[in-house]
Amino acid sequence: MKLLVERIRSEGQNLGEGILKIDSILNHQIYPDLMLEMGKEMARHFAGTQVDRILTVEISGIAPALMTGLAMGVPVVYARKIKPITMAGPVFLETAPSHTKGMEVNLLVSAEFLHAGERILIVDDFLATGKTLLAMGRMVKSARAQLVGIGAVVEKTFEGGRAILRKAGYQCPIVSLAVITSMEGNSIVVAEPSEIGLAAEH
């Protein structure tokens, strides 16, 4: 996505150890117009896929997932990291490592909002090691739903997450709106997904 790529190139910061700071456009501050365009672009990639529900993780996944849901006309459910007192009844629970927090975090989704037989699209902010997306995929499987696609705003190809997802048996389409191919030293090398064949890989 050209506009997103340009913003990452101009505003992204390499904090070292593979950590990309894009707080000004995704992980802290949000431009609704840019986020809406991201959602439309994500929806365009999955236009031929029947989707019943979008699954994401709080907090940074919510905005892109919400705008994708708006464009596709489907509900969005997000995994909570802390169980609120209102979350009663059966819960799908997985754990995933947080790169920025340096620890394992819980991911919880009420069974009330993830149903057997549904076609689920996962949308999240990053595809890096793939471990959070794997955890979400396990939730979909536990719910006896069908994972029909995975969408990421930003993919860091050098962390190998896409290959890990494929090795784990996830053969659904994986779409990235922007791709980081290297973060050596202080640099951030960004390529549009179409340039390296990742925008609509099946």
Report whether 97 contacts 103 (CB < 8 A): yes
Burial track 122-153 (b if 16+ CB lie within 10 A, e otherwise): bbbbbbbbbbbbbbbbbbbeebebebbbbbbb
What are the percentages of helix, strand and coil residues in the chain, rounded to 5? 35, 30, 35
List beta partners, residue 97. 104
> CA-CA distance, 120 to 96, in Å (whole number)?
19
The residues, ordered by sequence, that sit 6+ positions from 15 with a Cβ below 8 Å of its Cβ are 21
The model's pTM: 0.93
Give the count of beta carbons closer than 10 Å to the beta carbon of residue 79. 25
Q: pLDDT per residue over 93-145, tens digit each?
A: 999 987 666 678 999 999 999 999 999 999 999 999 999 999 999 999 999 99
pLDDT confidence of residue 200:
52
pLDDT confidence of residue 202:
43
Which CATH fold would you assign to the domain 2-78+113-195? Rossmann fold (3.40.50)
Q: pLDDT per residue over 17-70, tens digit each?
A: 999 999 999 999 999 999 999 999 999 999 999 999 999 999 999 999 999 999
Residue 31 burial (10 A CB sphere; 0-12, 13-18, 19+): middle
Q: What is the mean pLDDT of the chain?
A: 93
Q: pLDDT per residue over 85-95, tens digit each?
A: 888 889 999 99
pLDDT confidence of residue 197:
63
Number of residues assigned to the chain:
202
Taking CA 187 as the corner, what is the angle to CA 40 and CA 182, rounded to the nearest 5 degrees? 65
Report whether 193 contacts 2 (CB < 8 A): no
Q: pLDDT per residue over 155-199, tens digit each?
A: 999 999 999 999 999 999 999 999 999 999 999 999 877 776 665
Which candidate, 150, 151, 161, 178, places its Cα nearest to that of 99? Answer: 161
Task: Please name the residue that has the structure tokens 């609704």.
Answer: 32
Return the structure tokens found at 86. Answer: 């209102």
pLDDT confidence of residue 89:
83
